[in-house]
Amino acid sequence: MARESLCGGLRTKAVVALGNPDRGDDGVALRVLLGLPTQENVDFLVSLKTGLDLAMQLVNYDKVLVIDAAPSLPPGTISVGQGAPEKARGYLHGLGLGEALQVLREMGLKVPVVWVLAIGVPPLLPFHRGLSEVVEKAVPKAKEVVEAWLRNSE
C-alpha cells in the first residue's frame, strides 16, 4: 500500500507517485502505483511535495523511481531516464528535486540514484478526479516500466 513517508531509507528502493489526483491527469502517477504488487526492500510513496521536501524524504534510499505527469510530452507518451529534474514543475520559488538532492549530497547526506518515469499530459490540468482517455491508455505500459525498473535496478 502506498503511503506518504516522513523519513527516508526504510528500505533500499522507493517508487514515488508525484502529483495531485484532484487535478485530473496530474493524478496519473498515483493511478500507475495503485495495484502494483508489494516488493521486498521497496517503499511505495505518494507525494504532492517536490524539491527539498521530497528530497529529504528520499535520503538514505539507494535507488528511487519518481513517476510524474509531464505537460512537456505529448499526452499519453512515456519517457524514462536517469537523473532528477532540475526545476520543480509549477513552482516559481524553491529548488527542483535535482538541485535539492545536490544540496543534501554536499551536506554529506546519502542521496539516491534517481530515475524519472514521465507520462505526457495536456498542459492545462483542471480540477476534477479521473484521467482522460489518452492518459488512461498509457497506464498499463507505465506499470510495465515500473515493474521492469524494479526487476532490473538491483
pLDDT tens digits, residue range 110-131?
A: 999 999 999 999 998 899 999 9
> Given this model, what pLDDT does residue 50 score?
80
In a domain, 61, yes or no: yes
- Domain tally, the chain: 1
> Given this model, what pLDDT does residue 1 score?
44
- Comparing CA positions, the residue from 141, 106, 108, 114 lying closest to residue 50 is 114
Measure Cα distances from 4 to 15, 79, 128, 140 in Å.
11, 24, 22, 23
In a domain, 44, yes or no: yes
> Given this model, what pLDDT does residue 60 score?
87
pLDDT digits (tens, 9 = 90+) for 76-112: 999 999 887 654 444 434 568 888 888 899 999 999 9
DSSP character at residue 121 = -
What mean pLDDT do residues 117-146 have? 95
pLDDT digits (tens, 9 = 90+) for 33-68: 998 998 888 999 998 888 888 999 999 899 999 999
Q: 119, 72 in Cβ contact below 8 A?
A: no
Give the residue with greater pLDDT, 154 vs 25.
25
Give the residue with greater pLDDT, 9 vs 102.
102
In a domain, 2, yes or no: no
> Given this model, what pLDDT does residue 5 score?
45
Collect all residues with Cβ–Cβ distance below 8 Å to 107 and sequence separation of at least 6.
none
- Residues of the domain holding 131: 13-152
Q: What is the CATH number of the domain that holds 82?
A: 3.40.50.1450
